[in-house]
Amino acid sequence: MISIGIVSSFTISPFVKKFKDLCANEKIETNVFHATSYSLATDELLNEKSELHSFPPRILIIMIDLKSLIPDLWECPNKNSQDRSDLIFEKSEFLFHMISYYANKHPGTMIIMNNFEVPVYTPLGILDNKDDKGLSHFVRSLNQQLETHFKQSNQIFIYDFDRFLCWHGKKNTFDSRLYYIADMKLHQALYSDLSREYMVYIKCLIGKSKKCLVLDLDNTLWGGIVGEVGFDHIQLGPKPPGNVFLEVQRLILAWYQRGIILAINSRNNPEDIYPVFRKHPHMILKEHHFSAIRINWNDKSENLVEIAHELNISTDSMVFIDDDPYQCTLIRSVLPEIVTLQRPEDISLYPEMIMTIKEFNTLQLTNEDIIRSQSYVNERQRKTLKQTYKNQTDFLRSLDMELIIRKSSSYTLPRMAQLTQRTNQFNLTGIRYSVSELEALHQSQRFKLFSVQVKDKLGDSGIVGAAIIEINKTMDAVLNSFLLSCRALGRNIEQFFLQFIINQSVNWDIERVIGIYQSTDKNMQTRSFFSDNGFKFLMKNVHSTQWALPLSDLYSNYSFPDYIRLTYIDEKNT
């Protein structure tokens, strides 16, 4: 159950209903509270006795429209410049104060604040942009200040509501009858679209972002069937309709660059395909951009399952694009958890379809995102290498691994939060955290947070694991979260990381380390992790088991194998 608060300065109750319906459709249980009117909105945020303060929601959406903030908007251009800048200062300071006040009191609440609509009308007409008196300039600078003020915040997100209105055309987003009679500032036809915009944040927060884009080839990355028309006649290049595919490839490349894993799933003869990747002058995507490739005559759904297995991700983190309606229908019925998109019949609509895919959004962009795609390629090499060794130890020895374990710092928290949001398989408790929640734990004396980064001779995987430990009143160190990215599995890193924590724990004035396994849909493989590592069974609830390791049982510190280099960084000491 996710609690969501919506405060707005105008009538929004029909929107709230639509929003709840959409959440229900997505099987996201929500409890939505809303307050509508400018005075109610500000009161809810500032008054500590308000419902919003007594029951802080997980997500708070704030929609304040310009006319409520500045009722004499049309007079702004005619004020003298001192009055005008005073007004901007006063209003923006008020907003910053109000939002920060609430945010600081409730670090567990993620805040989404709409920016302001830049009006399409201005009393200055064609002179509006001739000097800094203009109304557009005035509103844009207010928006700019909002963005700048909260740029560094991991808790407060400014939603570009003005861009949303532009996308739909401001003339269509406003219904004058609804506005003047019922104070509804947004046309009802847009409620679903706006709901989907906020849904993006919710899905990121509950770990439902997609990670991998799987593509068909013929009529998906280029026009025509290469096996039939031949290399020279596929449609790809500056001339229509080849220019559409060029644009699509550019859009996909940009996703690769921000860390989306790409894969190919095509029914074809490989010998027809590889020349296109290697020699076609207009191919933007190359073989090395793809982390898994299936070009064969097998069932496409089987290929998808294999790709997921090869990449160590689950099928529900995939988006699949194909032009064939039969294949799309088939995949949708066999693997409904995959978002399957059919290329539009009208080719000119194809780039827009790509641009409106929202599933790849994440709340943070970390260094690991940038290197992710490359690290999957490294992982492919690692698997090949592993087959040449008879046993695991020899393989590990050959890798020349370095583990860098860090005590949490502002540098590692965003990545750690992202790991809790994205890691499903090797995640002992499955608890999701936002950065601001982790920040609160990081500040607390009771919690210890560690991350682990791994490098080996094939490359740097970045920070791939996180552990959150709570020291409780009964002198136990409880592993509230322990997780490792699927890209890092198979190198015993989880075991080394746990042993490191146990070694550290002897300095914490505790008696036992307690491990919790909380079963989720996907973390079966971790259920014996604690018993495999010397913990004793302690107790069992419906969905969880607890395991204990009394420190008195330890004869000496665990010593790491000689083929591992371990570096521990505690930022405070450096």
Partner 1 sequence: MSNKKMITCFVEALGISEEDVVNTLEYNSIPQWDSVAHMQLIAALEEAFDIMLDTDDIIDMSSVAKARQILQKYDIGF
Q: Which residues bind partner 1 (CB under 8 A)?
A: 11, 13-14, 177-178, 180-184, 188
Q: CB 281 → partner 1: shortest distance, Å?
A: 55
Q: CB 198 → partner 1: shortest distance, Å?
A: 20
Nearer to partner 1, 10 or 530 (CB): 10
Backbone φ and ψ of 112, nearest 5°: -115, 120
- Is the CB of residue 194 less than 8 Å from the CB of residue 21? no
- Is the CB of residue 486 less than 8 Å from the CB of residue 493? no
Alpha helices in 220-336 (DSSP H): 226-229, 242-257, 270-279, 300-311, 325-334
- Is the CB of residue 20 less than 8 Å from the CB of residue 224? no
- Is the CB of residue 338 less than 8 Å from the CB of residue 427? no
Helix (H, G, I), strand (E, B), or coil: what is residue 177? helix
H helix count then E strand count, the chain: 22, 18
Nearer to partner 1, 15 or 198 (CB): 15
> How many Cα atoms occupy the beta-carbon half-sphere of 324 within 13 Å?
14
- The Cα-based distances of 491 to 164, 316, 346, 374, 514 in angstroms read 45, 25, 48, 18, 24
Q: CB 13 → partner 1: shortest distance, Å?
A: 6
- Cα–Cα nearest to 211, from 282, 272, 262: 262
Nearer to partner 1, 6 or 516 (CB): 6
Residue with tokens 């994205």: 422
DSSP calls for 319-344: EEEES-HHHHHHHHHH-TTSEEEEPP
Nearer to partner 1, 91 or 187 (CB): 187
Other Cβ atoms closer than 10 A to 154? 20
Q: What is the DSSP letter of 188?
A: G
- The Cα-based distances of 23 to 5, 18, 32, 36, 164 in angstroms read 14, 9, 10, 20, 20
Q: Give the 3-state secondary structure percentages of the chain, helix then strand then coil, rounded to 5.
A: 45, 20, 35
Nearer to partner 1, 15 or 102 (CB): 15
> How many Cα atoms occupy the beta-carbon half-sphere of 403 within 13 Å?
27
Helix (H, G, I), strand (E, B), or coil: what is residue 456? strand
Burial of 465 (0-12, 13-18, 19+ CB in 10 A): buried
Q: What is the DSSP letter of 427?
A: B
Q: CB 34 → partner 1: shortest distance, Å?
A: 12
Buried b (16+ CB within 10 A) or exposed e, 84-116: beebbeebbeebeebbbebbeebbebbbbbbbb
